[in-house]
Amino acid sequence: MITGLGIDLIEKERINNAMKKSDRFCKRILSDRENVIFQSITSWQRKVEYLAGRFAAKEAYAKASGTGIGKEMAFKDIEVLPDSKGKPELYFKGEKNPKSLVSISHGREIIIAEVIIQEG
């Protein structure tokens, strides 16, 4: 049974502008493990897509959890890491969350993420 559903979309231009201003935005959003992947990306456009996808997925997870980003849940508490085939998987406070599903889609100007949390 589905116990939580969250969706978020973000304009790539918003992330692009935040990245150009300062690297603080990336540090606030990405965990250490996500940052390793981010730093290995050589294309600026792909970096924007990666960060925007993680931002949207984390917002969607927080919405699906019913808490939002705040006291109970910070951006760095949520990780979106690839499995062996590249499919994104959700981790919360370092532990894989097997009850959650995430999908991230990239368009020309926006990125959207959806998270489903299941019971049992």
Catalytic residue check, 63: yes
Distance of alpha carbon 4 from alpha carbon 41, whole angstroms: 32
Are 55 and 62 spatial neighbours (Cβ–Cβ below 8 Å)? no
- Quick one: tokens of 19? 């990245």
Any alpha helices (H) in 1-120, and if so which ranges? 12-21, 24-29, 32-40, 44-65
Rg of the chain in Å (alpha carbons): 14
Q: How far is CA 55 from its chain centroid? A: 4
Active-site residue among 63, 71, 87, 93?
63
- Residues whose CB falls within 8 Å of the CB of residue 23, separated by 6 or more in sequence, listed in order: none
Is 59 annotated in a binding site? The answer is yes
Catalytic residue numbers, as ranges? 63, 106
Binding residues for Mg(2+): 8, 59
